[in-house]
Amino acid sequence: PLDCYDACRVTVEENGALKGDKNHPVTRGYLCPHLNHYGEHERITAARLKGKEIPLSEALEALVEVLRRSKPHETLYYRGSGNVGLMQRSTEHFFAHFQAVGTSGSLCDGAGEAGILQGRGSNQLLSPQMIAHSEAVVVWGRNPHVTHSHLLPFLEGKTLIVIDPVVTPLAAKADLHVQIKPHCDLHLALILSRFAMIEGSHDIAFLEEHAPDYEEFYELTQTVRIKATLDAIDVTLGQIGSILALLQGKRTAILVGAGVQKYRNGAEVLRAIDAFGAVLGLFGKAGCGVSFLGDSTAEIDTPFATIKKRVSKPTVDFSKYNCVFVQGGNPLSQMPASTRVRGSFASAGFRVYFGLYENETSRAADLVIPARSFLEKNDFRSSYGDYTLQEMPRIVETPVGISEYDLTKILCDAFGFSLETEEGCLEYFRRQVEYYEGVGYRPGSPEVPYAEGFPNGTFEFPDEFDMGIVGQDGCWVISPKPARGLNSQFHRCEGAYLHPDAGFAEGESVTLSSPAGEVWMRVRHDSRLRRDCVLIYAGTPDLNVLTPALLSYEGESAVFQEYKIKVEKNDEKF
């Protein structure tokens, strides 16, 4: 159920230990640190009203009371991605009937997905099993050792190119690592397309049939000034040649991660990488394609009503609401522009936190309702890293907390709204699962994505780009995912990582500042970084004090890496 590509199938031993299912084609018998240590993280066990512990039944009565007093348009339903199970959506059913306000857009992959939809018309991914058929893999702004470790066995023995500002574990063993400057992937993708067409490695048969505007696109790529651009993005002509030579004639998968699109032009970046894939003719062929975080609920129907009126998630102003209901998320840490967010949350009328763990948001809430973990409730989950749709039955009985479904039931009963029985909801999902060799999959999963062509008939190349590289001073701040944490869950990192030659001593205290705010952190050295970057792992407390309350130009996404930041020594001791 955790927010990862892998969607592991877990078995629970008699003694409660979690094991990776050996018979699952992706999980293959092992788990990551999150699940290996799942039981060790301290849970919220008691409900709380204004700081005072109360029985769960009283907390639920208080919630009903607050909702009775709150006008629908002054009630906000905010769901994070702490658990990506489908039953998480049951609560939205209540809030939809209540006519509350919901959120649209994303803190995660919305910008990239918008670019994909513009070009291809749908966002189909390559599963690990599909990637197994590739001969070459380009890992572009993605760090599978940390974020998708079950993909690694499928990359063995392939020609490997990594495009990442950090020497990630895969970069260290790749045939070619382009240690690109952050925010420059759009330029690289355009230059690659241009040279592919100059060299004649473009797939004319594919382009004529599926992407007929390629000549106009070639003209667009000619507007890029090669030398000046390569210098600006820190890539050499030799590397461009090597990339094309390494991919020449090979079944190629380009695996793009969240890293390239944490910018306002994130949609353009994905669209340009897709365009490079189209130039090489990678769509619709086994072992080939461009794959981003997929749309995990594509083709799945839900039995739940969905909210109509929505405001953008990354910039939501909590102060406008009399009642804010936060479920499965920690917006006070994970939304951009924390200072703004914390101020607006403090000014909201009444704040409810429904979750598993204590965090910035639970501590600022008026009412805290403990949730049940995935082991303690019935659910289904799909994945953004493959096409599985798997049932997660309740395994553990507990008196602690309440499931999303049971909470929804209480609210619907109190307000007289209709709700399918729990078994009815589960059966609704169960009916859609398609089984193959003992594993459940989403309905209509493709054998080869885009084998039938693109949903809109053709691939749409972009016809314009904003090529300006933002001329701000300071360091690029990059915030990749931590190995032992899951966003703000489990272990949380601390400190700002810099190259040892960037001019700061290990352990010294620095002030980091951006137009959004200022924080102090301790310096940690990491020689895998560029000297113009500061790396702060996602989930580090106060990281988002530095990030802007802006939306991507397309896709309503947060843009965590848009602002450069200043790093200055301060002589203070912590």
Ligand X SMILES: Nc1nc2c(c(=O)[nH]1)N[C@H]1C(S)=C(S)[C@@H](COP(=O)(O)OP(=O)(O)OC[C@H]3O[C@@H](n4cnc5c(=O)[nH]c(N)nc54)[C@H](O)[C@@H]3O)O[C@H]1N2
Give me the residues that bind ligand X (CB under 6 A), please. Answer: 3-4, 80-83, 107-108, 140-143, 146-147, 163-166, 168, 180, 182-183, 185, 257-260, 327-331, 334, 354-357, 359, 371, 374, 478-483, 485-489, 538, 543-544, 547, 560-561
Question: Which among ligand X, Mo ion, none contacts residue 36 (Cβ within 5 to 8 A by kind)?
Answer: none
Question: Each residue of 120-155: b (16+ CB within 10 Å) or e?
Answer: bbebbbbbbebbbebebbbbbbbbbebbbbbbeebb
In the complex, least distance from residue 74 CB atom to Mo ion, rounded to whole angstroms: 29
Question: Which among ligand X, Mo ion, none contacts residue 164 (Cβ within 5 to 8 A by kind)?
Answer: ligand X
Residue closer to ligand X (CB basis): 354 or 450: 354
Residue closer to ligand X (CB basis): 329 or 555: 329
Residue closer to ligand X (CB basis): 24 or 210: 24
In the complex, least distance from residue 268 CB atom to ligand X, rounded to whole angstroms: 13
Question: Which among Mo ion, ligand X, none contacts residue 405 (Cβ within 5 to 8 A by kind)?
Answer: none
d(CA 211, CA 317): 42
Question: Which among ligand X, Mo ion, none contacts residue 185 (Cβ within 5 to 8 A by kind)?
Answer: ligand X
Residue closer to ligand X (CB basis): 8 or 108: 108
- For every residue of 402-471, which 3-state class applies, written as one string? ECHHHHHHHHHHHHCCCCCCHHHHHHHHHCCCEEECCEEECCCCCCCCCCCCCCCCCCCCCCCCCCCCCC
Residue closer to Mo ion (CB basis): 70 or 383: 383
Q: 475-478 and 367-370: which strand pairing?
A: unpaired
In the complex, least distance from residue 264 CB atom to ligand X, rounded to whole angstroms: 12
- For 77, the enclosing helix (H) or strand (E) is strand 75-79
Question: Each residue of 391-418: b (16+ CB within 10 Å) or e?
Answer: ebeebeeeeebbbbbebbbbbbebeeee
Question: Which among Mo ion, ligand X, none contacts residue 545 (Cβ within 5 to 8 A by kind)?
Answer: none
Residue closer to ligand X (CB basis): 286 or 410: 410
| Residue 497 contacts residue 527 (beta carbons within 8 Å) | no
Residue closer to ligand X (CB basis): 273 or 510: 273
- For 290, the enclosing helix (H) or strand (E) is strand 289-291
User: Using CB under 5 A as the criterion, which residues of the chain lie in contact with Mo ion when the complex forms?
Assistant: 108
Q: Is the dihedral of CA 492, 495, 496, 497 positive or negative?
A: negative
For the chain, give the number of residues: 574
Question: Which among ligand X, Mo ion, none contacts residue 4 (Cβ within 5 to 8 A by kind)?
Answer: ligand X
In the complex, least distance from residue 362 CB atom to ligand X, rounded to whole angstroms: 7
Name the residue number minimizing CB distance to Mo ion: 108
In the complex, least distance from residue 181 CB atom to ligand X, rounded to whole angstroms: 8
In the complex, least distance from residue 262 CB atom to ligand X, rounded to whole angstroms: 6
In the complex, least distance from residue 230 CB atom to ligand X, rounded to whole angstroms: 15
Q: How far is CA 500 from CA 133, 165, 270, 478, in A?
A: 40, 16, 32, 17
Question: Which among Mo ion, ligand X, none contacts residue 142 (Cβ within 5 to 8 A by kind)?
Answer: ligand X
Residue closer to ligand X (CB basis): 4 or 197: 4
Nearest to 480 by CA among 228, 258, 154: 258
Residue closer to ligand X (CB basis): 70 or 487: 487
Look up residue 327 and give its amino acid: Q
Question: Which among ligand X, Mo ion, none contacts residue 31 (Cβ within 5 to 8 A by kind)?
Answer: none
d(CA 506, CA 499): 10
- Specify the 3-state DSSP secondary structure of 370: strand
Query: Which residues have a Cβ under 8 Å from the Cβ of 553 and sit 6 or more positions away?
Result: 111, 264, 265, 267, 268
Question: What are the tokens at 187?
Answer: 């330029």
- Specify the 3-state DSSP secondary structure of 81: coil
In the complex, least distance from residue 434 CB atom to ligand X, rounded to whole angstroms: 25
d(CA 455, CA 516): 41
In the complex, least distance from residue 443 CB atom to ligand X, rounded to whole angstroms: 24
Residue closer to ligand X (CB basis): 124 or 143: 143
In the complex, least distance from residue 38 CB atom to ligand X, rounded to whole angstroms: 11
Query: Which residues have a Cβ under 8 Å from the Cβ of 37 and sit 6 or more positions away?
Result: 490
Question: What are the tokens at 358?
Answer: 């204590």
Residue 420 burial (10 A CB sphere; 0-12, 13-18, 19+): middle
In the complex, least distance from residue 219 CB atom to ligand X, rounded to whole angstroms: 26
In the complex, least distance from residue 81 CB atom to ligand X, rounded to whole angstroms: 4
DSSP 55: -
Residue closer to ligand X (CB basis): 70 or 338: 338
Question: Which among Mo ion, ligand X, none contacts residue 102 (Cβ within 5 to 8 A by kind)?
Answer: none
Question: Which among ligand X, Mo ion, none contacts residue 180 (Cβ within 5 to 8 A by kind)?
Answer: ligand X
Question: Which among Mo ion, ligand X, none contacts residue 182 (Cβ within 5 to 8 A by kind)?
Answer: ligand X
Query: Which residues have a Cβ under 8 Å from the Cβ of 492 and sit 6 or more positions away?
Result: 482, 485, 539, 540, 541
Residue closer to ligand X (CB basis): 288 or 543: 543
Question: Which among ligand X, Mo ion, none contacts residue 330 (Cβ within 5 to 8 A by kind)?
Answer: ligand X
